[in-house]
Amino acid sequence: MAETIRITDLAEPQLTPEQAAMRDLAESFVVEMDPASIMAAAERQTGLADWGPMDFVERLTVLCEAVDADTGLHASGRASIYLDCIRYCSNRLRIQHVLTAHPEIHDEVIDRPVIVAGLPRSGTTHLLNLMAADRRFRSIPYWESREPVPDPSEPSTVTGEDPRYTRCREAWEQTDVLMPLLKAMHAMTPDHIHEELELMCPDFASYNFEWLFDAPAWRDHYLAHDQTPHYAYMRTALKLLQWQDRQRGIEPKRWVLKCPQHMEQLPVLMATFPDATVALPHRDPTSVIASAVTMLSYGDRMRRKSTDPRYFAAYWSDRIEQILRACTRDRDVVPAEQSIDVLFHEFMADDVAMVERIYAVAGIDMTDEARADLSAYMDANPRGVHGRVGYDMAVDFGIDRDQLRSRFSDYMARFGVQPEGEQ
């Protein structure tokens, strides 16, 4: 049985020597959240200057202004977002360079993807990684999502390792030293299968940035704008990855994807991928909130000047309610013959059986080879191998769990979601 880990210093972190040293080091770095400076840094890094459509600059500007407005960010948090922005701009330049040189990429077809659309901390990561273990699928490993286009001037390492993989591995190793409990919540190893939302970030779209800082201005801008063009950008990035596979002699496979944002963007999702099979995981939202805010608050000891778990619990309670209202409203946009609701308690009871049910909707046979792939993945990644983080909503966030759950009663009744107790 997995060890239960209680993080008792969320509100008043007791820093490790490594954490304190990194925070002290970050104080010496002053970054300007200026779109022009970020774009210039990306141009220097890549040697490229063709950005494609320039509408993204407005969104980058909104993002930079929102970061500046968050006066609670520590220097380390600002530096992390700044470097992410340079990486996203560099990715955009490289994506545009390849698309310009090879317009045939637009002719690639993303055929009948299987897409997981559920809240974070609702089993979506395990479901995605489990299906991705089936070698008949194409998925996006974390290292590739961070840098989807290789730098042609950058040689492989002496061991033959892709330098993008090396950078991701080294970053994870550093993260594991600084945040040793993170792997019990969400291990971001290079081979971990990641979300396609990362492919929207070079277009400076998606709700992803809400997870990085206190971002009400970014949230409001995102919610006020149609996300259809940004989903189209992400689909084009998937076509590019598929085309790159062809250049290496790898024939296209059916994609398996996952992003929590899809729950509030179901009409856009289906307009972008009309032939998709969509699996919608459902879990008690109070458990989702407790787990998500615990993870966020643990990370805040490095990102923020001080931590405030109760504030972010309130923010994400509102935000999750918003997402679930959109899902309840738009669920029937996804055709019944192309979708399946995945109840958390059923998935946890027999994960392979749930995958088989998803396959049946998607018209995919559960072969002996596929079962062996799934079994090998589970043997290599047993649940709770790094421990299981527990939480107490009253103690950690000042929230009465039953009272909070009442806000989600319509959603839970609609989908038959079982209430959970403290973990």
The pLDDT tens digits for 312-334 are 999 999 999 999 999 999 999 99
End-to-end CA distance of the chain: 14
User: Would you say 74 and 13 are in contact if contact means Cβ atoms under 8 Å apart?
Assistant: no
Phi, psi of 414 (to 5 degrees): -60, -40
pLDDT score recorded for residue 1: 59
Q: Alpha-carbon Rg of the chain, whole angstroms? A: 21
pLDDT score recorded for residue 421: 80
Average pLDDT, integer, range 144-170: 90
> Per residue in 313-335, is it b (16+ CB within 10 Å) or e — as a string?
bbbbbebbbebbebbbebbeebe
Assess whether pLDDT exceeds 80 at residue 156.
no
- Alpha-carbon distance of 302 to 297, in angstroms, equals 10
77 Cβ contact list (under 8 Å, min separation 6): 212, 213, 302, 303, 304
- Alpha-carbon distance of 157 to 135, in angstroms, equals 26
pLDDT score recorded for residue 305: 97
Domain ranges of the chain: 24-101, 112-139+193-423, 141-190
Average pLDDT, integer, range 75-102: 97
Convert the pLDDT of each residue in 58-88 to its tens digit.
999 999 999 999 999 999 999 999 999 999 9
pLDDT band with cut points at 50, 70 and 90 for residue 393: very high
Q: What distances in angstroms separate CA 195 from CA 45, 110, 206, 330, one per listed residue?
A: 25, 16, 12, 22
Q: Domain 112-139+193-423 is classified in which CATH homologous superfamily?
A: P-loop containing nucleotide triphosphate hydrolases (3.40.50.300)
DSSP, res 417: P
Convert the pLDDT of each residue in 163-209 to its tens digit.
999 999 999 999 999 999 999 999 899 999 999 999 999 999 999 99
Beta-bridged to residue 255, according to DSSP, are 138
Assess whether pLDDT exceeds 80 at residue 423.
no
